Amino acid sequence: MAFTKFAVGLLVIGLIVGGIAGFGASFALQRPTSTKATTTYTIGVIMPLSGTLASFGVSFANSVKLAVNEMNANLSAIGSPIRFNVVVADDGGTPNGALNALQSMYQSNSVQIVIGPLTSAEVLGLRDYADTNHIVILPPAATATSLRIAGDYILRPGQPGDQFEGSALAQTILGFGEKYVVYIYRGDTSEIGTYNITSSILKQHGVNVVGIEYTPAQSDYSNVVASASSDVASYISSGAPRSQIAVVLGGYGTEAANMFTHASSDQYLSSVRWFGIEALNDNSLLTDSQVASFMAKVNLTITAPQTSISPQGINFAEAYAAAYGSPPEPYSNYAYDNAWIAMLSILVAGTDNGQTLIKMVPLVADHYFGASGTGIYLDQYGDQTIAYYNVEKCVQLNQGYNFTVIGEYNGGTNQLTLNTK
């Protein structure tokens, strides 16, 4: 499997080498003159290995390590003296944590390219430092539209932006005929943005929307759940049929688990349909019997980036399970692909200098097709422009719970198709 992956890497290099001349001689493919000396390039990984998104952060970091191990095995197999090293730091899921992690990496390891952080707030926390020190940042899943800035050192070849998710989520809610919405959303850059996009579209179509912003990283959210329950009860008392009332959750991780646990015993919140964002497809939620049973009971329906079946995707899932003893969290394939894009860019450029890589990465990314099963094309902001989403519903399968696909959204046409409700 690993050698097949390297063959793909060589194909990418072949595809892009014709464009290298346009960037100048410094981009020529270089190899050390000595066959004995080893040249090692360091890839940084900044993820929340603690906090509400720790399950995703660990899985994403493991995915980068897997990609690096595969690349090193293939470089060794062909007798190359080039190797890659990984430095991983926990940012705790906070902007300050991300900044501190990047400063430490840069000062201690001279890291020039980083996979991560996970959320948009974390990315915003380190952006200025990355720009000042010419460090290329490749976040796999940071989707806020506030990160659409031309000329910075943030490139996002992974998950499509919130402008796509907001439209997909709004169209899904409309497709189910909902007229009254209580939208609970996390008070961070990305989820505020998604709420604004989604609620704006819903209101344009005559939907009543009540927004409830919650503070991240609290130990308990019973007050938020009580507020949502009151809003649903108010809709019902005003004559709205329950079939047209929906709760939307723009949150995730342990925060979502706490809310679902409280909501599971609430007469109003357990009697209407719930919708949500892609991060609710989380192994830690699906393996919590109380939480998962509630998600299935309320037909939790989410919009999630589509991962088409592909040889690379199958190889990634199998290799991850073999290496770490469990399946990867959803969307870990973006971290894996970003690691490959980073390493291929370094190999083609012959350097890990950030000022060189910021020009090379888009060229490699635009010719890369990996484990996500979706092609990549970056726009003038360095963001992914190809966007396909699945509409997924939580269901009970045998003795466990999982999400099943019931529709899809095409970001190119801005069209949603529901196969079933």
Domains of the chain, CATH where assigned: 2-159+307-365 (3.40.50.2300), 162-299+388-418 (3.40.50.2300)
- Residues 6 or more apart whose Cβ sits within 8 Å of residue 33: none
Give phi and psi for 281, each to the nearest 5. -80, 80
In degrees, to the nearest 5, what angle opens at C-alpha 385 toward C-alphas 26 and 274?
140
Indicate the SS3 state at residue 45. Answer: strand
pTM, two decimal places: 0.84
How high is the pLDDT of residue 226?
98
- Residues 6 or more apart whose Cβ sits within 8 Å of residue 147: 120, 123, 124, 127, 154, 156, 161, 381, 383
Concatenating the DSSP letter of every residue in 194-262 gives HHHHHHHHHHHTT-EEEEEEE-SS-S--HHHHHHHHHHHHHHHHTT--GGGEEEEEE--HHHHHHHHHH
Question: Amino acid letter at 398?
Answer: N
How high is the pLDDT of residue 28?
36
- Residues 6 or more apart whose Cβ sits within 8 Å of residue 44: 86, 87, 88, 89, 102, 105, 109, 111, 113, 114, 115, 116
How high is the pLDDT of residue 333?
96
How many whole angstroms separate alpha carbon 276 and alpha carbon 282?
12
Contact between residue 162 and residue 193 where contact means Cβ atoms under 8 Å apart: yes
How many whole angstroms separate alpha carbon 225 and alpha carbon 232?
11
Nearest to 402 by CA among 327, 318, 313, 322: 327
How many whole angstroms separate alpha carbon 276 and alpha carbon 381?
27
In degrees, to the nearest 5, what angle opens at C-alpha 122 toward C-alphas 121 and 127?
95
Nearest to 158 by CA among 254, 38, 2, 278: 278
Nearest to 137 by CA among 161, 101, 177, 178: 101
What letter does residue 297 receive in the DSSP assignment? H
Question: Amino acid letter at 159?
Answer: Q
How high is the pLDDT of residue 251?
96
Per-residue pLDDT tens digits of the chain, which is 421 residues long: 333 444 434 444 443 333 332 333 233 334 444 456 899 999 999 999 999 999 999 999 999 999 999 999 999 999 999 999 999 999 999 999 999 999 999 999 999 999 999 999 999 999 999 999 999 999 999 999 999 999 999 999 989 999 999 999 999 999 999 999 999 999 999 999 999 999 999 999 999 999 999 999 999 999 999 999 999 999 999 999 999 999 999 999 999 999 999 999 999 999 999 999 999 999 999 999 999 999 999 999 999 998 888 899 999 999 999 999 999 998 999 999 999 999 999 999 999 999 999 999 999 999 999 999 989 999 999 999 999 999 999 999 888 999 999 999 999 999 999 998 7
How high is the pLDDT of residue 36?
63
**CA 40 distance to own-chain centroid:** 28
**The 113-115 sheet, strands edge to edge:** 82-90, 39-47, 113-115, 136-138
